[in-house]
């Protein structure tokens, strides 16, 4: 009797083992890495992107009949940490594709590592052209800075401004690049090489801009373009107004964060900037669905980074579906062939250099809110 029950027990154990083995083979997840600035100066941008990615993951949790597992690595708003984060995702977490990162300098450092390892990477919001240049495995879901610089220069010119000043963060590729494109277009529009009356610089982490702004005010500029990140812009606005200047302040997509008005307060009023998307003017039917789902999950309106995080995840999952496998090379090829993907931030087609062409949206700060001004087509 005892022998029989021992046999039964053995058989049960054996069956359970086979069953468990079968189950685990069935649920082997698809591993996707995400590296974003969750801490440091760009934390707001990274965290909003992550919210969008999480929402998209919740709505599409599997592909090819396998669950998708996300691995998040914090790049601490720093290029060196970005390279480390990507190396960790590839070596330790064995991811087959990577999303990220907010911040062009971060994406350039992280992209180098992924390119060498042959892992496809798609950045949500890094706009510097150099991010994808000369790289086979690097893509992006957003427009690039030559377009954005042109949009802002045309806006300034259209407002009757003929003399501008530029304040550049020399430690950020995004800032240096965007400043150059803006300057080139503005000089071309005015036909006057001296129409950029002051070009002053600062370094990431600086908080005192009083000397630079004194210089700007003294140069007689009618507007100041600051291609920096949201936290810097909020402090610039405060210090500029405290120095008694009322000139127009303009920025790029990197100031699209609630911190701009939370920190900038009244000084942020009237700032105009270009970005990827506005919840006030949804570009596609997909966009309305996204806004509703985002509000239901987080109880707030998404900004452009939330939308781009959501889009980037969906573009990548779509590519994996079309690739039909989790082979990094096949996913790369599928990403490169993305055509007319119905994204929240506008229909997305990835061109031969890995970039997306999209509309830009102009917003203005009014009564502490980002108000939609207009949409500009490429």
Q: Shortest Cβ distance from residue 245 to other proteins (Å)?
A: 9
Q: Shortest Cβ distance from residue 239 to other proteins (Å)?
A: 9
Q: Shortest Cβ distance from residue 34 to other proteins (Å)?
A: 15
For residue 317, give the DSSP letter.
H
- Site string (243-282) toward other proteins, x via CB under 8 A: xx--------------x--xx-x-----------------
Work out whether 197 is an interface residue with other proteins (CB under 8 A): no
Of 210-239, which residues contact other proteins (CB under 8 A)? 210-212, 214-215, 218, 231, 234-235, 238
# residues contacting other proteins (CB under 8 A)? 37
Q: Shortest Cβ distance from residue 12 to other proteins (Å)?
A: 45
Q: Shortest Cβ distance from residue 210 to other proteins (Å)?
A: 4
State how far the Cα of 212 lies from the Cα of 202, in Å rounded to an integer.
8
Q: Shortest Cβ distance from residue 19 to other proteins (Å)?
A: 40
| Lookup: tokens for 263 | 């920190």
State how far the Cα of 157 lies from the Cα of 166, in Å rounded to an integer.
15
Binding span for other proteins by CB under 8 A among 32-40, 57-65, 92-100, 334-342: 32-40
What's the CA angle centered on 142, arms 204 and 160, to 5 degrees? 75
117 vs 217, beta carbon nearer other proteins: 217
Interface pick for other proteins out of 201, 293, 336, 376 (rule CB under 8 A): 201
| Lookup: tokens for 77 | 């708003």
State how far the Cα of 303 lies from the Cα of 319, in Å rounded to an integer.
25
38 vs 122, beta carbon nearer other proteins: 38
Q: Kindly calculate the radius of gyration of the chain based on its CA atoms and give it in whole angstroms.
A: 24
Strands 164-169 and 223-226 come out as: parallel
State how far the Cα of 341 lies from the Cα of 358, in Å rounded to an integer.
12
Task: Count CB atoms within 10 A of the CB of residue 24.
Answer: 9
State how far the Cα of 155 lies from the Cα of 221, in Å rounded to an integer.
16
State how far the Cα of 162 lies from the Cα of 370, in Å rounded to an integer.
26
Interface contacts to other proteins, rule CB under 8 A: 38-41, 43-44, 47, 168, 170-171, 198-203, 205-208, 210-212, 214-215, 218, 231, 234-235, 238, 242-244, 259, 262-263, 265
């Amino acid at each position: 009797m005892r022998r029989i029950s021992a046999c039964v027990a053995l058989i049960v154990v054996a069956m359970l083992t086979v069953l468990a083995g079968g189950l685990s083979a069935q649920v082997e997840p698809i591993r996707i890495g995400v590296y974003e600035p969750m801490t440091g100066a760009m934390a707001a941008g990274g965290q909003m992107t992550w919210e969008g990615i999480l929402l998209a993951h919740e709505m599409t949790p599997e592909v090819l009949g396998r669950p998708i597992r996300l691995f998040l690595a914090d790049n601490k708003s720093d290029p060196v940490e970005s390279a480390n984060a990507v190396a960790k995702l590839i070596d330790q977490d064995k991811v087959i594709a990577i999303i990220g990162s907010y911040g062009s300098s971060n994406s350039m450092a992280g992209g180098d590592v992924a390119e060498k390892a042959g892992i496809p990477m798609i950045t949500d919001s890094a706009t510097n052209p150099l991010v994808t240049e000369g790289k086979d495995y690097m893509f992006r879901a957003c427009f690039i800075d030559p377009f954005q610089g042109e949009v802002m220069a045309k806006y300034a010119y259209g407002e009757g401004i003929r003399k501008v000043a530029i304040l550049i963060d020399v430690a950020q590729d995004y800032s240096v690049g965007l400043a150059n494109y803006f300057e080139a277009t503005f000089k071309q529009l005015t036909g006057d090489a001296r129409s950029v009356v002051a070009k002053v610089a600062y370094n990431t982490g600086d908080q005192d801009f009083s000397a630079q702004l004194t210089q700007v005010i003294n140069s007689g500029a009618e507007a100041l373009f600051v291609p920096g990140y949201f936290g810097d812009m909020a402090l610039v606005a405060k210090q500029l107004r405290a120095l008694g200047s009322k000139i127009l302040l303009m920025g790029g997509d990197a100031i699209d964060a609630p911190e701009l008005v939370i920190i900038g307060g009244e000084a942020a009023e009237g700032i105009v900037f270009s970005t990827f998307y506005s919840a006030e003017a949804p570009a596609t039917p997909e966009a309305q669905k996204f806004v509703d789902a985002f509000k239901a999950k987080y109880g707030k309106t998404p900004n452009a980074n939330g939308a781009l995080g959501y889009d980037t995840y969906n573009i990548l999952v779509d590519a994996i579906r079309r690739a039909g496998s989790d082979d990094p090379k096949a996913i790369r090829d599928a990403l490169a062939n993305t055509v007319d993907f119905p994204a929240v931030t506008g229909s997305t087609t990835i061109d031969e250099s890995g970039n997306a062409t999209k509309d830009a949206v102009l917003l203005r700060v009014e009564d502490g809110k980002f108000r939609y001004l207009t949409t500009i087509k490429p």
